[in-house]
Chains A and B, each alone.
Chain A
Amino acid sequence: MEQKKTKTRILERKNEVISGLKSFGTKLYDQLDQGVFPTINMPSRSTENINYDPVLRQFILGDKSVSRSARNIRHVKPFTQLAWAAMFSNELTTQRKTSTLRDVYYSAQAYEMTFTDQQESNNIITDLETVTGYSREDFNIFPEERSAVFGDLTIEYTVPGYEGRTMNLTSHPDGVLIGPALTSSEFAGTSADKVIAIEKGGLFTRFIEENVHRKHNALLVMTGGQAPRQTRQFIRRLHDELNLPVYILTDGDPWGMHIAMVIIAGSANAAHLRELNTPDAKWSGVWATDIVNYKLPTDPLDEVDIKRLYELQKDPRYKDDPLWQREIKTFLKIKRKAEQEAFSRYGLTYIVDEYLPTKLEETK
Chain B
Amino acid sequence: MAQATFEEISASDFFYRNRDIAGFTNPSRAIFAAIRELVENSLDAAESLKIPPDVYVRLSFEGEASKDTQIYTLRVEDNGSGIQPKHIPSAFGQVLFGSKYKLKQMRGTFGLGGKMAVLYGQIMTHKPAYITSSTGAAKIYSFKLMIDIQRNRPIILDRKVLINKEQWRGTIVEFSLEGDYLRAMPKIIEYFKQTALVNPYANLTFVDPKGRLYKFTRATTHMPEPPKETLPHPYGVDVELLQRLIQVTPYKTMPEFLKHHFHRVGDITAQKFLDFSGLSPSKNPKKLSHEEVVKLMQMLKRFKEFLPPDASCLSPLGEELLKAGIVKELKPEYVVVHQRKPATYAGHPFIIELGIAYGGEVPKKGSFVIYRFANKIPLLYDEASDVSFKVINAMNWRRYKASPDMPIAIVVHICSTKVPYKTVGKEFIADRPEVKREVANALREAGRQLQHFLSRREHVDKERKRLSIFSKYLPKIAQFSTTLAGKEKLPDIERLLKSVQKYGAEED
Contact = CB atoms under 8 A, between A and B. Distances in A.
Contact of A22 (B476, B486, B491): B486
Interface in B473-501: 473-474, 476-478, 480-487, 491-493, 495-496, 500
Contacts of B496: 32, 35-37
Interface string B134-156: 00000000000000000000000
A318 interface: no
Nearest to B489: A33
B473 A87 contact: no
B158 interface: no
Given A26-B485, A29-B485, A86 B480 contact: yes
A113 B473 CA distance: 9
A291 B492 CA distance: 69
A206 B42 CA distance: 106
Nearest to A23: B485
Nearest to B487: A29
Contacts of B507: 72-74
B340 to A, nearest CB: 44
B481 A72 contact: no
A22 B483 CA distance: 9
Interface stretch (A75-83, A99-107, A176-184, A352-360): A75-83
A29 B469 contact: no
A90 B493 contact: no
A132 to B, nearest CB: 12
Given A24-B484, A25-B480, A33 B491 contact: yes
A111 B476 contact: yes
Contacts of B474: 70, 76
B477 A90 contact: no
Contacts of A76: 469-470, 473-474, 477
B286 interface: no
B28 to A, nearest CB: 56
Nearest to A80: B473
Contacts of A38: 477, 481
Interface residues of A: mostly helix, strand, loop or mixed? helix
B492 A83 contact: no
Interface in A56-85: 70-74, 76-77, 79-80, 83-84
B484 A22 contact: yes
B272 interface: no
A28 interface: yes
A77 B506 CA distance: 15
A231 B483 CA distance: 32
A21 interface: yes
Contact of B485 (A25, A71, A73, A74): A25
B491 A72 contact: no
A79 B475 CA distance: 12
In this complex, the member of B473, B482, B485, B507 whose beta carbon has the largest number of chain A beta carbons within 10 angstroms is B485
A83 B477 contact: yes
Contact of A77 (B473, B481, B483, B484): B473
Interface in B452-477: 466, 469-470, 473-474, 476-477
A37 B484 CA distance: 17
A83 B500 CA distance: 20
Contacts of B508: 72
A86 B470 contact: no
Contacts of B484: 21-22, 24-26, 28-29, 83, 86-87, 90
A87 B480 CA distance: 6
A79 B473 contact: yes
A71 B507 CA distance: 9
Interface residues of A, number: 30
B136 to A, nearest CB: 69
B483 A32 contact: no
A24 B486 CA distance: 11
A28 B487 CA distance: 12
Nearest to A35: B495
A21 B485 CA distance: 8
B494 to A, nearest CB: 9
A72 B506 CA distance: 6
A71 B469 contact: no
Contact of B505 (A22, A73, A111): A73
Contacts of B487: 29
Contacts of B483: 25, 87, 90
B484 to A, nearest CB: 3
Given A22-B486, A32-B493, A72-B505, A83 B481 contact: yes
Contacts of B493: 32
A21 B474 CA distance: 19
A311 B491 CA distance: 52
Interface in A83-99: 83-84, 86-87, 90
Contacts of B495: 35
Contacts of A33: 491-492
Nearest to B476: A80
A34 B491 CA distance: 8
Nearest to B486: A22
A254 B500 CA distance: 54
Contact of B491 (A24, A29, A111): A29
Nearest to B470: A76
Contacts of B469: 73, 76-77
Contacts of A74: 507
Nearest 7 A/B pairs, CB to CB: A25-B484, A28-B481, A32-B491, A25-B485, A83-B480, A33-B491, A26-B485
8 contacts: A25-B482, A26-B485, A32-B481, A32-B493, A33-B491, A37-B505, A77-B469, A83-B484
Given A26-B481, A33-B491, 19 more contacts: A25-B485, A26-B484, A28-B484, A29-B484, A29-B485, A32-B477, A35-B492, A70-B473, A70-B474, A71-B505, A72-B507, A73-B507, A76-B473, A80-B473, A80-B476, A80-B477, A84-B480, A86-B484, A90-B483
Interface of B: 466, 469-470, 473-474, 476-478, 480-487, 491-493, 495-496, 500, 505-508
